[in-house]
Chain A
Amino acid sequence: MRRRTHGGGLTAAWLLGMVLALTGCSQQSEDTIVVGLSADITTFEPGMISSRDNDNIAQHIFSSLFSLSPDGDHLPDLAHTMEISDDGTAYVYTLREGLTCHDGEALTAEDAAYTFNRIGDPENRFTGNIPGFVYTSIGFQGAVALDDLRVQVNLARKNPIAFGLLTEVHIHCKDSYEEMTLDEAASNPIGSGPYRLASWTRGSEVVLEKVRDPGSFQRIVWRIIPEASTRTAELIAGNVDIITNVVPEQMDAINASGRAEVQVVSGTRRMYLGFNLSDASRQMPGGDAIQDPRVRRALQYAVDVPTICRQLLSTECDRATGLVNPPNDHPGLTPYPYDPPTAERLLDEAGWPRGEDGTRFAIRFQAGRGRYVNDVNVVLAITQYLEDVGLDVELDLLEWASVYTPLLRERSMGPLFFLGTGGGLWSPIYDMTDLADVDSGTNYTHWDDERWFSRWADLAEAGTPEETRAIVDEMLQVFYDDGPWLHMYFQPDFYGVSNRIEWTARRDERVHLFEARLR
């Protein structure tokens, strides 16, 4: 096709820069770094944090016993050693001496044990990532202080990746949290990390102040800027140093501005269409049809994932074959190709031929808007592909924080839904742990295939890496054939970074500012 060519991005960036320079541009202080986030945050209660943006801020306020590097290395943090019992169900950490919380209280093993137990206390009814994902996966039994510096975490069963999962627990002190109500704790965190909360204006900004190393900046300002164009404009104007979720169409404008550039990293977030197989979902449009694995398999052929990546995400991507990030995925599986005739044939064979009106069955498709890269357009494109093979799709695009997130907590969206779930590169089992149990908070599909869930015990008992790998591959084959996900892609992440600072984006979506520096 013919297209006029012109320096559109450059013109737009120049105009935008000029307007903002004349109206609202301001030079940032040298001891302050400003980050623009796309999604609002809801809490600083360690037991309730569930989104990556929320956790990125919390990781500056709370430290953990150990941490994971971008490459998956297990690094000491508040603790300097970790020992695992022979049966793999007890983890003993030895804390560094002289630790304190932000209020000056000494941080001891008793505080660490209190943190673990408080988050796991059923009376608190926490539903965040730590109780809903970490504790469920490892079978958390409790924590005890062995002495002032040693804390022991007890698990119900051996788990080969428990050491990594435990890095996600944010440590705080006992006395300060015992004095606060749950509501107070949610908005007044008293942490153990290098930064403390200075102020929080809900829906607008969070300001952190440095209390100890590491960290190059005295202040970190996290601004909530939901509108992608506004984030971009603020970056180009110099009012923000880092922005997340840059819309691919705006990359040229940012790069041409001379003030910032876009870092594109191959992310680890698994994007997928989930089939909600619960009994409640069965009563909804399409809920009955997707119970049949043949229907789910047929629909894998209906969506052109590489074209979605190329056109809507401005990047080439290999379609996922499962829920494990490469290179830890099953090497023998090939991505389902885009093949609408095969999809139609399989749907016919599954007993869902086209009716007189050309449709096979209606299905409700729910998705949140504004959470993932170009998510609305991706969802609309998927809808078109599904309609092309005869589905009558009732698309329901929902506001993310207040409408879609509650559905996620209840695992009641769908029957078809669009979601992304954070992953890692340090172990295939970490990525598979979303489905550690039928009732896991992250098993949004209610999938209950015995061929998958019965193998977790085998994984725990596997004696060698080869044995583990064999079991992992068998499980991934089941997931590929009859699983509850329509496989999409691993989301590329787009960060806009000001030329003023030196910072490198990580693949695991963690925005760590400890290493960020002025150029």
Chain B
Amino acid sequence: MSRAAVPTEHGARRALRIMVASKWPLLAVAFLFFASVAAAFGPVLSPFDPNRQNLVLRLADPMAVGPDGSLFWLGSDALGRDVLSRLLYGARVSLLVGFAAIAVGGGIGIVAGLLSGYFGGWVDDLIMRVGDIQLAFPFILLAILFLVVLGSGVGNLILVLGVGQWVTYARIVRADTLSLREKEFVEAARALGDSTVSIIFRTILPNILAPLTVIASFNVASVILSEAALSFLGLGVPPSVPTWGSMLAESRDTLVANKWWLAVFPGVAIMLTVLSFNILGDWLRDFLDPRLRERT
């Protein structure tokens, strides 16, 4: 028997139709699709090796042409590296970190929330108090602390940013689980002899995925911003890995010298990505809310 409450085939078609009719969600999805393609095919699309330096061609303006006829579409940076190529490679890190951190944080948070809400008692107390303690620390401070101890790198960055998000998911899942565990269909599953694991993950979990999808879409945006902030502080990934945040950091010294392209292009990329996820999250929230369905 199917217990999932995610949109049905009919619902998915309806979502597509409404999105096409709306302007901003469609633009957001289009941009995210474009960014994902850029990230996936960065090595193919990049005109240059993003780390290849050419000191003689440093700080070339956008559309500058090198002595060999090569075109720097978005200019070059302080070490003569092609900004467009670094932007394309940077998309990989930003999106990878964004999605992977949500997977880590969401995974931990969902399991913790399900256990907390379903079993209650000391399990609930323990998990929620651990979450409270974590929330008592400013997240960026916690992230800096962990990265100083663990060292920088994509893996550690994903881990730190993911762990930083789990409490949000755990609280939402716990609240929904507390409500759902008393519902008739859960009672029915118990009466039919389903195991506890099956009830939690096959009966309850599918019914709380909709709000989690909305939260995740907002969260991706905040994680990408956190990644940019940590890379800006030099705690993100190694210097050889281009990221949008580290590109922004590198632009600081040249901004006063009017080398605007070093800050504007990665800055706009971050802004559009975050904006797109926020618009998408907004729309998803409205779309999945039964009270607002009529309006969407």
A residues lining the B interface (CB < 8 Å) = 1-4, 8-9, 11-13, 16, 227-229, 232-233, 247, 249-250, 252-253, 307-308, 311-312, 369, 374, 376-377, 380-381, 383-384, 395, 397, 399, 403
Task: Give Cα distance in the complex from A228 to B60, angstroms.
Answer: 21
B residues lining the A interface (CB < 8 Å) = 51-53, 55-61, 64-67, 78-79, 148, 234, 238-240, 252-259
Task: Give Cα distance in the complex from A247 to B67, angstroms.
Answer: 27
Given the known inter-chain contacts A369-B234, A380-B53, please indicate yes or no for A250 contacting B253, CB distance below 8 A: yes
Q: Is the CB of A4 within 8 A of B61?
A: yes
Q: A312 to chain B: which residues have CB within 8 Å?
A: 55, 78
Q: Is the CB of B55 within 8 A of A12?
A: no
Out of A250, A376, A403, name the residue touching B256 (CB < 8 Å): A250
Q: Is the CB of B55 within 8 A of A229?
A: no
Given the known inter-chain contacts A232-B256, A381-B55, please indicate yes or no for A1 contacting B234, CB distance below 8 A: no
Out of B58, B238, B252, B255, name the residue touching A311 (CB < 8 Å): B58
Q: A4 to chain B: which residues have CB within 8 Å?
A: 61, 64
Out of A2, A3, A247, A399, name the residue touching B234 (CB < 8 Å): A399
Task: Give Cα distance in the complex from A377 to B252, angstroms.
Answer: 13
Q: In this complex, what residue of B is CB-closest to A10?
A: B258
Q: Is the CB of A1 within 8 A of B57?
A: yes
Out of A16, A247, A399, name the residue touching B253 (CB < 8 Å): A247
Q: Is the CB of A311 within 8 A of B55?
A: yes
Q: Is the CB of A252 within 8 A of B257?
A: yes
Task: Give Cα distance in the complex from A92 to B64, angstroms.
Answer: 67
Q: Is the CB of A3 within 8 A of B257?
A: no
Q: Is the CB of B258 within 8 A of A395?
A: no
Q: In this complex, what residue of B is CB-closest to A247?
A: B253
Q: B79 to chain A: which residues have CB within 8 Å?
A: 377, 380-381, 384
Q: B256 to chain A: which residues have CB within 8 Å?
A: 12-13, 16, 229, 232-233, 249-250, 253
Q: Is the CB of B258 within 8 A of A381?
A: no
Q: In this complex, what residue of B is CB-closest to A7?
A: B258
Q: A233 to chain B: which residues have CB within 8 Å?
A: 256
Out of A1, A12, A227, A253, name the residue touching B252 (CB < 8 Å): A227
Task: Give Cα distance in the complex from A377 to B239, angstroms.
Answer: 10
Q: Is the CB of A9 within 8 A of B257?
A: yes
Q: Is the CB of B234 within 8 A of A253?
A: no
Task: Give Cα distance in the complex from A4 to B260, angstroms.
Answer: 14
Q: Is the CB of B234 within 8 A of A12?
A: no
Given the known inter-chain contacts A229-B255, A252-B257, A380-B79, please indicate yes or no for A3 contacting B64, CB distance below 8 A: yes
Tell me the minimal C-beta distance from A126 to chain B in angstroms.
Answer: 27
Q: A369 to chain B: which residues have CB within 8 Å?
A: 234
Q: B254 to chain A: which residues have CB within 8 Å?
A: 249
Out of B66, B238, B252, name the residue touching A395 (CB < 8 Å): B238
Task: Give Cα distance in the complex from A253 to B59, angstroms.
Answer: 15
Task: Give Cα distance in the complex from A384 to B53, angstroms.
Answer: 7
Task: Give Cα distance in the complex from A305 to B71, angstroms.
Answer: 27
A sample of 8 more A-B contacts (CB under 8 A), given A383-B240, A384-B53, A397-B234, is A1-B67, A16-B256, A249-B59, A250-B256, A253-B257, A380-B53, A380-B79, A381-B55
Q: B240 to chain A: which residues have CB within 8 Å?
A: 383, 395
Q: Is the CB of B66 within 8 A of A1?
A: yes
Q: B258 to chain A: which residues have CB within 8 Å?
A: 8-9, 11-12, 253
Given the known inter-chain contacts A1-B66, A233-B256, please indicate yes or no for A249 contacting B239, CB distance below 8 A: no
Q: B58 to chain A: which residues have CB within 8 Å?
A: 311
Task: Give Cα distance in the complex from A1 to B71, angstroms.
Answer: 10
Q: B234 to chain A: which residues have CB within 8 Å?
A: 369, 397, 399
Q: Is the CB of A395 within 8 A of B55?
A: no
Q: A3 to chain B: which residues have CB within 8 Å?
A: 60-61, 64
Q: Is the CB of A1 within 8 A of B239?
A: no
A-B contact pairs, 21 of them (CB 8 A): A1-B64, A2-B65, A4-B61, A8-B257, A9-B257, A13-B256, A227-B252, A228-B253, A229-B255, A229-B256, A247-B253, A249-B59, A250-B257, A252-B257, A253-B257, A311-B55, A377-B79, A380-B79, A381-B55, A384-B51, A384-B79
Out of B56, B66, B257, name the residue touching A249 (CB < 8 Å): B257
